[in-house]
Amino acid sequence: MKVYRTPSLSALSRNQYMMLTAAIVISVLGLHFIVKALGSDVLWSIEKAIKWCIRREYIHIDSTPFYSFSRYSGVSLGLGLGLSSAYYRKTERSRFSYKMIVSLVILNLAASNFCVYIHKTLSPQMFGWYFVEFAINATTTYLITAVIPNFVRIASKVPPAYKIKKKPA
Identify whether the C-beta of residue 73 lies closer than 8 Å to the C-beta of residue 25.
Answer: yes
Residue 1 pLDDT class (50, 70, 90 cuts): very low
Helices (H) and strands (E) in the chain, counts: 8, 0
Average pLDDT over residues 97-116: 92
Q: Which of 90, 91, 84, 100 is nearest to 142 (CA)?
A: 84
Average pLDDT over residues 61-84: 83
For residue 131, the tally of other CB atoms under 10 A from its CB is 11
Residue 97 pLDDT class (50, 70, 90 cuts): confident
83 contacts: CB under 8 Å, gap ≥ 6 = 3, 4, 9, 10, 12, 17, 145, 146
The DSSP secondary-structure symbol of 5 reads -
pLDDT digits (tens, 9 = 90+) for 151-169: 998 888 888 776 555 555 5
pLDDT digits (tens, 9 = 90+) for 17-55: 888 888 888 888 888 788 888 888 777 777 777 788 888
